[in-house]
């Protein structure tokens, strides 16, 4: 499946439009994005640590070049930006940038050498929801290192765009897809929540279960990046939410998953301080990170300017992911 740049010769099936470098091109989003770009006619080079295969097979991987590189190590040497620039891409898509210094090193190296630079952000740049659905123009008040750093990157890139650097920022929600566990109706990654819903056992939810989660299928995020590449003029200097058409409440999410398994939901609601005592510190912290933000974002801007139209609703995306977990014995179901 993998080859180096020299041997990645596009086949006649895909006439090449542009050379595109995807940093993190075999991960959750890249698994879908890299083949989509090939199908759209581009030559694709993926930068990866080389530690894993893509989550989904695709014939396009035979024409995709894989450059194995440890980003953190190369950034520490001050070489990562230069190495990316030397690949000679017209488009660079960065799916794995989490520090402002990482963005700065890359932009400095690519300035004047790339036609379009796309960064993967997060809807957590907004912090807690105020007026929903949240638009891209809403004030940002992130909390926690992840959201704070991502906002700093977005601010830097959009400032650079105003000075002429061709940057675009896409903000996904909670990523879902076959191959990994989605955020569950309790707001964490504990698979027991799905198993209990499947068996009709009691599931505890915090407060009244009316906090929200906003999922998105990784394939829909990938399609948004392709759309942004295709609609470069509309995308330059802009940021976009990339989520499913609607958020879900914890309670509604639990009810739908129970129905997916042919069960009536058996839910009990507890005040936060009491609820957290029933879970590990890790699960409770993850839940708090999600319900304290309760994202619910608007995608009208991406629809209008990019033609983004997600194929999956939140529940449909999770059902596909949960089905994969069951089929691959990652989620073990038992009788009540």
pLDDT tens digit sequence for 71-97: 999 999 999 999 999 999 999 999 999
pLDDT exceeds cutoff 50 at 326: yes
pLDDT of residue 51: 80
Phi/psi for 85 (5° steps) reads -60, -35
pLDDT of residue 12: 38
pLDDT exceeds cutoff 50 at 56: yes
Burial grade of 158 (CB within 10 A; 0-12, 13-18, 19 or more): middle
pLDDT tens digit sequence for 226-250: 999 999 999 999 999 999 999 999 9
Q: Which of 223, 258, 261, 260 is nearest to 242 (CA)?
A: 223
Average pLDDT, the chain: 94
pLDDT of residue 52: 82
Domain 5-176+215-242 has CATH 3.40.50.300: no
Characterize 253-272 residue by residue with b for buried, 16 or more Cβ atoms within 10 angstroms of its Cβ, and e for exposed: bbbbbbebbebebebeebee
Q: What residue spans define the domains of the chain?
A: 5-176+215-242
pLDDT of residue 50: 83
- Give the number of other CB atoms < 10 A from CB of residue 67: 19
Question: What's the token pair of residue 25?
Answer: 């091109």
pLDDT of residue 2: 36
pLDDT exceeds cutoff 70 at 101: yes
* Distance from C-alpha of 181 to C-alpha of 188, rounded to nearest angstrom: 10
pLDDT tens digit sequence for 147-187: 999 999 999 999 999 999 999 999 999 999 999 999 999 99
**pLDDT above 70 covers what percent of the chain?**
95
Q: Which of 58, 45, 22, 64 is nearest to 226 (CA)?
A: 22
């Amino acid at each position: 499946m993998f080859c180096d740049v020299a041997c990645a010769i596009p086949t006649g099936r895909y006439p090449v439009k542009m050379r595109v470098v995807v940093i993190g091109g075999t991960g959750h989003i890249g698994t879908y994005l890299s083949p989509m770009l090939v199908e759209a006619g581009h030559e694709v080079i993926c930068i990866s640590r080389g530690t894993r295969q893509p989550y989904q097979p695709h014939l396009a991987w035979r024409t995709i070049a894989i450059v194995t590189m440890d980003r953190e190590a190369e950034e520490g040497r001050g070489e990562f930006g230069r190495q990316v620039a030397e690949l000679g891409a017209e488009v660079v898509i960065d799916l794995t940038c989490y520090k402002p210094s990482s963005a700065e090193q890359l932009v400095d190296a690519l300035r004047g050498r790339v036609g379009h630079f796309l960064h993967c952000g997060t809807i957590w740049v907004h912090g807690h929801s105020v007026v929903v659905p949240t638009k891209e123009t809403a004030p940002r008040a992130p909390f926690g290192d992840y959201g704070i750093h991502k906002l700093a990157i977005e601010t830097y890139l959009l400032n650079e765009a105003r000075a002429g650097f061709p940057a675009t920022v896409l903000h996904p929600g909670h990523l879902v897809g076959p191959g990994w566990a989605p955020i569950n109706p309790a707001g964490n990654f504990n698979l027991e929540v799905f198993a209990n819903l499947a068996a009709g056992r009691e599931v505890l939810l915090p407060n009244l279960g009316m906090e929200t989660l906003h999922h998105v299928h990784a394939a829909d995020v990938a399609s948004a990046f392709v759309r942004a590449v295709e609609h470069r003029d509309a995308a330059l200097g802009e940021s976009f939410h990339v989520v499913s058409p609607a958020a879900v409440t914890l309670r509604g999410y639990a009810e739908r998953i129970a129905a997916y398994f042919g069960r009536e939901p058996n839910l009990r609601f507890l005040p936060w301080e009491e609820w957290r005592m029933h879970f590990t510190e890790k699960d409770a912290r993850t839940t708090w990170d999600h319900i304290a933000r309760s994202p619910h974002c608007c995608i009208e801007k991406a629809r209008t300017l990019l033609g983004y139209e997600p194929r999956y609703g939140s529940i449909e995306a999770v059902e596909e992911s949960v089905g994969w977990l069951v089929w691959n014995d990652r989620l073990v179901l038992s009788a009540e």
